Amino acid sequence: MSEAERKGTAVVLLSGGMDSATALAVAREHFRRVHCLTVEYGQRHVREVRSARRLAAHFRVADHRVVRLPLAPLLRSALTDARRALPRAGPRRRPTRIPATYVPARNTILLSIALGYAESIGAEAIYIGANAIDYSGYPDCRPEYFRAFERLARLATRAGVEERQAFRIEAPLLHLSKADIVRLGDRLQVPWEMTWSCYEGGKAPCGRCDSCALRARGFETAGVPDPLVRRAHIRSSRSTPR
């Protein structure tokens, strides 16, 4: 897309994972000015915030804000409480119950902050890397949820009421498989080595949690090597006594 075809301003919710990184790359394709918002809410995999900073710098966004909200004591989840066990990778099937990694109302909280930011800077769209095909069972990753939030945005903002502005919630990965996301990100030159997916949040991906398993299947199915895994393997080999 040429510079003349790009729209005005967008806000991207950037966690630092492969999905939000790809959503950022899509936003950069369509908007002249992209602002990123990262929320550190007490997630045990806070390591991803470092990835978000690197990605924002790589894509040369107009601005990147990191907001710290100590919400972990209020939001009961395996992602906010290190004492709770993380789900391990198992047989590939759609869950029948919402998993322990669900963080109560997380997307509603994040989108609300992004909405206020978007209205303040005159942005017209908010991008989020949600995905409904490799569906994790999260109720706030469904298409109907995002359409409902768009209706709320029109009713709850001055821009929506006085200026009739319709804030768009853009979820460009919503109907893509993880392999499709890898292919799209590869085409848009997403630096996969800068992204972080592991829920454990250690120095290297654990390779056992659900998020690591989804990432691994995505890269394998797409036929694209994951540089993060390769780098971790090299580091491990170097540290092993001979």
The Cα–Cα gap between 133 and 80 comes to 25
Q: Residue 216 corresponds to which tokens in the numbers above? A: 């691994």
pLDDT of 227 above 70: yes
Q: Give the phi and the psi of residue 16 in degrees, each rounded to 5.
A: 110, -5
Q: List the domain range (segments joined by +) for residue 195.
A: 3-239
* C-alpha pair distances (Å), 48 with each of 7, 17, 89, 204: 29, 7, 20, 12
**How do residues 13-23 score in pLDDT, each as one tens digit?**
999 999 999 99
Mean pLDDT, rounded, of the chain: 89
**How do residues 36-63 score in pLDDT, each as one tens digit?**
999 999 998 889 999 999 999 999 999 9
Compute the average pLDDT of residues 109-125. 97
Q: Residue 45 corresponds to which tokens in the numbers above? A: 């995999």
Say if residues 27 and 12 touch (Cβ distance below 8 Å). yes
Compute the average pLDDT of residues 81-86. 88
How is 108-141 classified by DSSP, letter by letter?
Answer: HHHHHHHHHHHHHHT--EEE----SSS--S-GGG
The CATH number assigned to the domain holding 217 equals 3.40.50.620
Predicted pLDDT at 119: 97
pLDDT of 238 above 50: no
Query: pLDDT grade, residue 235 (50/70/90)?
Result: very low
- The total number of structural domains in the chain stands at 1
Rounded to two decimals, what is the model's pTM?
A: 0.90
Residue type, 174: L
pLDDT of 158 above 70: yes
